[in-house]
Structures are given as C-alpha cells and as structure tokens.
Structure 1
C-alpha cells in the first residue's frame, strides 16, 4: 500500500514519520503546489492513501486519482477536500477534530489579552527607553481594558468555543453564543442567542465556525453595521469568514476597535492585503494550532485514523 503525504514541512520540523512509515510504502513531500493539479496528480497517481494538511484535493484531482481509497486530513477543517466528490468516488475522508482545542482556545485569549493589555507594545516602548524618560512611575500609550463584565459573543459553539467560554467565565465575563442549530448550554452562565442579538450585545466577538458557502464573508459591511461601536473581533477559525476590505474600512473609521486574527483569506498573506495597513489590526501567521504538544497529538490521531480504516472500522469520517 502506498501512502503519500503532500505537505509535511509545517508539521515535521521537529517530528518524524516513523509511525506512518510502518504502515506502508510511505512517501512525504515537504510542499506541494496548491495551484498545480498536474503536480498533485503526479504525486498521488498510484497512491491508495493520501494525507494532506493544506494541499487541496478537488473534483478534478479526485476523479483522476484511480487508486485513491482514503484521504486523511491532518487538521480539523475539511474545506481543503471536495467531500461530495470523495463520497461519489467511494473514498473515505477523515479529519482530526479535537487535537488543538486547548491550544486554539488559549491562543484566542492570547489575542484578546494582547488587545486589552497591550503587553507587546509597552514591552517594546520600555526597551526603546520611553519609561526611562518619563517623570512618573507609570505611563501607557494605548487604552487598557478590564474584561470583567464585558460580553463575549461566540459564533459557533463547538469544542473550541466551549473552552473559550470557560476561560471567559474565569475572567468574570458574560458569555453568549450563536449556533446554527439549537444547543443546550451545559452551564447556566452561557446563553444561546440569535446571530443578530449577538451582534447587538457583544463587546467582543470570537469566530469558531467552519468555512462553508454560508459562512464565507459572514463578517461584512452589513453585519458589522449591526455591532456595537468599538467592538473587538477575534478570528482563529478561517480567514474567509471575514470580508477583509469591509473589516479594514471598519477599523479605519473606528466602528471596530480592533481585529486580532490568526488567519487571512489567502495564506501566506499577500503584500497588498488591506489588513496590513488597517488601524489596530493584530495578525499572526496561522499558528494557534502549532504548539509541539498539539502537533504530536495531530500526528498520533492521524495514524490512529489510518489504522482504524485499515482494520475496517474507520473513525472520524467526514460525510
């Protein structure tokens, strides 16, 4: 059985592939062009198993990969694979839904705390000598905010959002959430609301939904207009959930106080992305998922998924 991993670089800078090598004829590529179907097909042409992290597998690729029986997505989001096409060709697709829950929730709060506490800015100012030059024992160059009693609105209420809710409760925040289907909040301090109500009430909005045709550009000029003036937005989900031109305009006219995002629509970020010049915009390079512990877990569950498939009892199947 031939196993091909299309994009191992982001994962294996400090890991190894011995567990995958033990399962078959294993071939790993550091990178595969996301825009070159010919290259993708050449690499997976005789493979029964393909593992991908961010390399897209669309209808044109899946329909021509004659030996392909299994696609393992090394991640939670599955927008990189045409699931309908895979189903039509009787190809099993699995993902890793829970490997980074704690890490992404932690990073979500890291972004929020950076906005409200301005640690990075003031650390740099101190090192630049500003504290040494002031007359008082203290100074601040940007407003600082207390989270207590602020309302956090979570769009989506899966595992990561629920973990973020727990962290928010520890900071004595009020927590509301919107979910596309009714959910029963396990804690009395969390309330489910409509999307419009969330936009109207939330001081901080954090995105935790998957990318689908319905959620692309969910945050746009119209939905932004429904939000409180001075709202803070956090995005550790997918870049395409936000219209970048619309949010840049809202940042520049101060309708939105700040955006902190770990993701953008086109990654790596392009030099002309409007967010790069927008006011009060914090951008990190898609690293919320990347602590060593989470990547070790990701690899382990990817191997477990493949072993389950080989034993005839596939798990974490996307349909």
Structure 2
C-alpha cells in the first residue's frame, strides 16, 4: 500500500485516479509521496520513506529542490496543466492595460447615490479613452505552454506578435502560429513592442532582468504584463519608469507591498491558475506522475531529475539515483554479473549533478545485491519494484 500525504486541498478529479493500492490524507505519516500546491516545504521534515513530491502547478519555489535532490526525492510539477487558465487572465489583463476599464469602474462606484450618474458618465467617459490592441505589437518573452497560447491568441486578435525564447522546445515550436515573429534578442522585444508579457521562470539569470536598463530600451508608454514571477521585475526601477511614463501600465499576478497604490499598477492576488478546470488538470497530472514513479519508476516532468520512461517488460526493476560521475553504470553492471544476473534492459540519463538509471531483469534482486550497489560511492538511493 502506497501512502500519499496531502499538504493542500487537492481536486477529487485527481485523487479519484488513485486505486485501491493507495491511501491518502492530510495526516499521513511515513509517506511515500506528497501532493502539494502552495504549502511551503522548506521547513518540512523529509521522512526517509519519502520518494516523490508532486506540485499541482508549475512553480516549485515552495519546495527545497537541492535538499530533495540530495535525498534522492524526485520533485514533479505539472507544466501546461494550467496554461489555458493563465492565458485567459493574460488576455484579460492585455485589455485592462490598454483600455482604462478599471479606472472607469472605480469612477462609477464612487458615484453611488447620485441619480444623475448616467448623464455625468457621458461627460466623464472621455477621461477613460484607451487604444485598441488590434494592429499593435506584443512581445512574448518565454514560449513555453503558456507563452505559446498567449502568442497564438494574440495573433487571432489581430496583433503583431514577437516571441523570444532561446530554449524553445520542439513541441512548443510545432504548436506556435507561423505568424509569430522570432526575436533573436530581448532588445528586439524591448525596441519593437507596445505590450510585453513575461512567461519565464525565476532563475539567477532572470531575476530582476526587467530593470532600468531594460525599461530605457522600450517603447514609450509600454504596457508590461507579469504572470510568471514577481521577482523578474526590479520594483524600484519600475516605479521610476512609471513616474516618467516610460512604462504606461504594469499588471502583475504577484501582489507586493511596495507597488500597492502606485499609479498605473494593477496587482492581482495570484489568480492565474485559480479556475476549477486548472485545479482539476493539475491534480490529474500530478497523480499520474506519482503513480508512474512509484509503480514503474518512470519519471516525467521532474524539475530535479532527468526524464526516463521505459515500458515494463520484466518481473523486476531496479531504480537507481546517483551523482553524475564516471563508472557508476560499469560498477552496477559488475555487481549484477558477480551475482550471475542478466540485465534485460538498462536506460540511464543525467540532468545536472544527478543521474537516474532503470535496470530491468527477470532475476530475483536480492537484498545483498541492493546493499552492494547502495554502498557504491556516488549512489544516492536504490529502489526495487517487483
């Protein structure tokens, strides 16, 4: 029986995909896996039985990735599961950044009790004039699942779309409209586009990359949409750019104290994936990832270990997580040979400092073999699935 701990409310659409071999609840102890959304695991004690953590969402800032890697705990996320929800909110914000809709709504709300509001509105509406987006230029920085959907929808809305992503995947390229213009550098986006939307992860390279130097290169009055991560933007530089009207509007899904009340800033309470459909999709994908790993050792959508998927064709499978150092595979093969065991299939892939190996055999994998391999220098952990 596999034990799964729930650290947040998880959609039943996903939980219903666990079969009779699983038990799950919020009070689970000695868990094999954790399902989480927003709860922080940075102070959470990682039990020796823990094998996997699945984040029902894309971002994993709430999970101690390095610590998990050291312990051989595979961390999954669910890229693309919430892409449509975020895309729709980005499109909504695109209109809000262009037309002064929020300002107009606030004016009407302030007229409560005034019976002449209708006639006053006809005179007041000229204060809330804003341009149409058709024919304008949109720069999409980051062409993953969300960025591609935003780019394609903007094309359908009649915008001229420029896309920038030096790490564009083949699947994303296949799914992107042929009318999206490739930007070879960020400067192309900055210099060309009336609107810019961010869809990149927060890394050492991207934190604060939207800063004074970037703003100075942009079109005057540019509208910036941030539905990726709050720390991509240097807030102090942004405030200065807003004050001199270099940036016309900033809409972000990440509330922060220093931007509250700043003119032409709209902050949302992280609503990007807050739809029932998105929560269902994320839960379904997260449960599938956990089951595939626990039952078959297969890894997809892991942020700390390589993708390794091998069909099960033998009675026993050994899963080995190790440091990405020389001679590990040779040593494992030698151990199998020394016990007169035949390896039917072996697949190995590396990702950064770590590697993952699946070894299939029809021989009985004894505890002696497991112990022998576990003691090899560079081995993080060994698991056998029967």
Residues in 2 aligned to 1:224 and 1:4: alpha-carbon distance in whole angstroms: 45
Residues 1:113 and 2:95 aligned together: yes
Which digits, 9 at most, give the CA deviation of each residue in 1:29-52, with x for residues without a partner? 7xxxxxxxxxxxxx87x3221222
Partner residue in 2 for 1:122 = 104
Residues in 1 aligned to 2:15 and 2:177: alpha-carbon distance in whole angstroms: 41
Residues in 2 aligned to 1:189 and 1:138: alpha-carbon distance in whole angstroms: 39
Residues in 2 aligned to 1:135 and 1:297: alpha-carbon distance in whole angstroms: 43
- TM-score normalised to the size of structure 2? 0.68
The correspondence for 1:141, drawn from 107, 127, 139, is: 127
Q: Check whether the contact 1:56–1:80 (CA below 8 A) recurs between aligned residues.
A: yes
Residues 1:24 and 2:14 aligned together: no
Which digits, 9 at most, give the CA deviation of each residue in 1:195-241, with x for residues without a partner? 11111111101000011111111211221121111110001111111
Partner residue in 2 for 1:221 = 212
Residues in 2 aligned to 1:170 and 1:288: alpha-carbon distance in whole angstroms: 21
Residues in 2 aligned to 1:78 and 1:134: alpha-carbon distance in whole angstroms: 49
- Normalized per residue, the structure richer in strand is 2
The within-5 A match list for 1:47-58 is: 47-58=31-42
Q: CA deviation at 1:80?
A: 2.7
Residues in 2 aligned to 1:23 and 1:258: alpha-carbon distance in whole angstroms: 52
Size of the aligned set, in residue pairs, is 293
The correspondence for 1:81, drawn from 42, 48, 63, is: 63
Q: Check whether the contact 1:98–1:159 (CA below 8 A) recurs between aligned residues.
A: yes
If you compute each CA radius of gyration, which structure gives the higher value, 1 or 2? 2
> Match of 1:260, SS?
strand
Residues in 2 aligned to 1:314 and 1:180: alpha-carbon distance in whole angstroms: 25
- TM-score normalised to the size of structure 1? 0.82
158-167 or 302-311: bigger deviation? 302-311
Partner residue in 1 for 2:320 = none
Residues 1:104 and 2:94 aligned together: no
Residues 1:315 and 2:300 aligned together: yes
Residues in 2 aligned to 1:253 and 1:275: alpha-carbon distance in whole angstroms: 16
Partner residue in 1 for 2:264 = 280
228-237 or 86-95: bigger deviation? 86-95
Partner residue in 1 for 2:162 = 176
- What stretches of structure 1 move > 4 A for 4+ residues in a row? 14-23, 135-138, 182-186
Q: Check whether the contact 1:231–1:256 (CA below 8 A) recurs between aligned residues.
A: yes
> Match of 1:277, SS?
coil
Unaligned runs of 5+ in 2: 306-386
Q: CA deviation at 1:135?
A: 8.6
Residues in 2 aligned to 1:178 and 1:135: alpha-carbon distance in whole angstroms: 42
Unaligned runs of 5+ in 1: 30-42
- CA change 1:189–1:16 in 2 (3 A) is closer
